[in-house]
């Protein structure tokens, strides 16, 4: 791990989706687009053939208590342990342990991906360790174990680039009691995750995780702890079994992206701005097959590092993102919440906008006119989301 970081804690998050049955009324027209190519309304929940896993953080949590989040957490030094070389020994001759190379020039890569970990004392590439972290944290928090048997190594070496779906593998044949035992051990000490993989002869399915985004905690938000978080996307054909976490997580919930957004605006749950943005992106793909194909193909393009810059105007918090006309050249410098009204006037058609406007903790709208980089998605930017009274979490 990057011990040179003083202000940031590195973390990994997994957007985990799983197939569901498509509703009988799913054959609706496609989501309409405005002239900028942005979606103008949410797809109905019945249009989705997949759900997303959300976890409700404990009220006692020191970071975003009671929030609904994607599974994930801080990188542990064991994620960068050289002992993983033995676990992945069949893949050592493949660059990045068999992960596909990213086209984005290294000088433009977010530091969390570009940092040379060998210079920091670890032979494990960052893109590998970050995925190990995401798999481990997902197991700790939800009981979902994304591993493949070592007997599948040859198949993975030949076909991982062409895999249509990242499947949830059950070949490890762990019973509920044994799964709970290992989960308790991993929660007690993250290094036990590697020991589990060694004893069970399984591999963390790093090839099923597709690079999606990189979000940084804005200045003076959510307490003193700030995270530099790699977001990954993983699509499962079938919904895996989950086990309740009695410590950090109070409950888990599988729901469609539109259900989550509707429940958020109906004040039934609270999600952080990155979750709101990414779920709005996912609403462009109601079908799991389309989402997976896009995530798999786009992942090799790379991604931007996004650190929101928060300004206050007329009782509204405006979260500026890279590309917005008011986004500062150095977002790491503290900003004053005293922007003049003329600077944050009503957007015009020719304005470069990339922002989230938060009227209150449960009312967020997106204003986006910029084109996304690295072949990424424009999110749904409807000014108001329709409420479905039947949608409950």
Encode pLDDT of 66-90 as tens digits: 889 999 999 999 999 999 999 999 9
Number of domains in the chain: 2
- Is 291 found in the same domain as 235? yes
- Quick one: pLDDT at residue 223? 55
Examine residue 375 and state whether it is found in any structural domain, yes or no. no
- 13 contacts: CB under 8 Å, gap ≥ 6: 69, 70, 71, 72, 134, 229, 230, 231, 232
Chain-centre distance of CA 16, in angstroms?
8
- Is 235 found in the same domain as 210? yes
User: Which single residue is written with the structure tokens 């072949």?
Assistant: 375
Q: Which of 289, 305, 321 is the last residue of a domain?
A: 305
Average pLDDT over residues 270-292: 96
Pairing mode of beta strands 305-306, 210-216: parallel
- Is 320 found in the same domain as 293? no
- Quick one: pLDDT at residue 124? 96
- Quick one: pLDDT at residue 281? 96
- Is 121 found in the same domain as 258? yes
- Quick one: pLDDT at residue 65? 72
| Position with higher pLDDT, 170 vs 264 | 264
**pLDDT confidence tier of residue 391, bands split at 50, 70 and 90:** very low
Examine residue 378 and state whether it is found in any structural domain, yes or no. no
Instruction: Quote the tokens at residue 69.
Output: 């989040």
21-40, pLDDT tens digit by residue?
A: 554 333 333 343 343 445 55
- Is 353 found in the same domain as 287? no
- Is 224 found in the same domain as 359? no
187-219, pLDDT tens digit by residue?
A: 999 999 999 999 999 999 999 999 999 999 987
- Is 72 found in the same domain as 207? yes
Q: Record the pTM.
A: 0.87
Examine residue 147 and state whether it is found in any structural domain, yes or no. yes
Examine residue 384 and state whether it is found in any structural domain, yes or no. no
If phi over 0 gives left and psi between -120 and 50 gives alpha, with beta otherwise, what is residue 292? Answer: alpha
How far apart CA 53 and CA 213 sit, in angstroms, is 17
- Is 315 found in the same domain as 295? no
Examine residue 202 and state whether it is found in any structural domain, yes or no. yes
Examine residue 319 and state whether it is found in any structural domain, yes or no. yes
Average pLDDT over residues 258-263: 94
**pLDDT confidence tier of residue 159, bands split at 50, 70 and 90:** low
**pLDDT confidence tier of residue 175, bands split at 50, 70 and 90:** confident
- Is 174 found in the same domain as 138? yes
Examine residue 254 and state whether it is found in any structural domain, yes or no. yes
Q: Which of 281, 305, 329 is the last residue of a domain?
A: 305
CATH code: domain of residue 262: 3.90.79.10
Q: Is the pLDDT of residue 248 over 80?
A: no
Average pLDDT over residues 280-288: 95
| Position with higher pLDDT, 302 vs 176 | 302
Q: Is the pLDDT of residue 388 over 60?
A: no
Q: How wide is the angle at C-alpha 275 spanned by C-alphas 330 and 11, nearest 5°?
A: 65
Q: What percent of the chain has pLDDT over 70?
A: 79
- Is 163 found in the same domain as 72? yes
- Is 316 found in the same domain as 295? no
Residue 248 near residue 141, CB atoms below 8 Å: yes
Average pLDDT over residues 278-300: 96
The domain of 333 spans 308-368
- Quick one: pLDDT at residue 332? 77
Integer angstrom CA distances of residue 208 from 16, 139, 204, 222: 10, 15, 9, 31
Mean pLDDT of the chain: 83
- Quick one: pLDDT at residue 274? 96
């Amino acid at each position: 791990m990057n011990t040179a970081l003083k202000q940031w804690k590195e973390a990994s998050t997994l957007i985990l989706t799983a197939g569901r049955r498509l509703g009988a009324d799913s054959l609706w027209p496609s989501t309409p687009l405005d002239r900028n190519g942005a979606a103008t309304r949410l797809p109905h929940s019945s249009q989705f053939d997949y759900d997303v896993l959300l976890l409700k953080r404990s009220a006692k949590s020191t970071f975003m208590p009671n929030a609904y989040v994607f599974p994930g957490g801080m990188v542990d030094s064991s994620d960068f342990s050289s002992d993983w070389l033995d676990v992945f020994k069949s893949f050592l001759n493949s660059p990045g342990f068999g992960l596909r190379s990213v086209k984005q020039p290294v000088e433009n890569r977010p530091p969390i991906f570009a940092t040379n970990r060998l210079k920091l004392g670890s032979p494990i590439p960052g893109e590998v360790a970050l995925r190990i972290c995401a798999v481990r944290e997902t197991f700790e928090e939800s009981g979902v174990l994304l591993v493949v048997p070592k007997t599948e190594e040859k198949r993975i070496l030949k076909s991982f680039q062409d895999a249509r779906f990242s499947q949830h593998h059950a070949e490890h044949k762990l019973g509920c009691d044994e799964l709970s035992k290992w989960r308790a051990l991993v929660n007690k000490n993250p290094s036990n995750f590697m020991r589990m993989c060694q004893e069970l002869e399984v591999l963390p399915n790093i090839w099923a995780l597709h690079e999606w985004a990189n979000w940084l905690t804005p200045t003076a938000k959510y307490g003193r702890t700030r995270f530099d978080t790699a977001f990954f996307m993983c699509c499962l054909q079938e919904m895996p079994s989950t086990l309740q976490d009695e410590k950090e997580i109070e409950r888990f919930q599988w729901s469609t992206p539109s259900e989550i957004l509707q429940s958020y605006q109906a004040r039934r749950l609270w999600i952080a701005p990155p979750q709101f943005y990414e779920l709005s992106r996912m609403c462009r793909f109601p079908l799991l097959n389309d989402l997976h194909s896009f995530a798999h193909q786009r992942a090799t393009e790379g991604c931007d590092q996004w650190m929101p810059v928060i300004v206050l105007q007329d009782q509204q918090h405006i979260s500026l993102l890279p590309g917005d006309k008011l986004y500062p050249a150095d977002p790491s410098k503290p900003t004053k919440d005293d922007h003049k009204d003329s600077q944050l006037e009503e957007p015009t058609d020719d304005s470069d906008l990339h922002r989230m406007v938060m009227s209150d903790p449960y009312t967020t709208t997106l204003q986006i006119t910029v084109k996304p980089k690295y072949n990424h998605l424009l999110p749904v930017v409807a000014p108001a989301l329709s409420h479905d009274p039947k949608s409950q979490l």
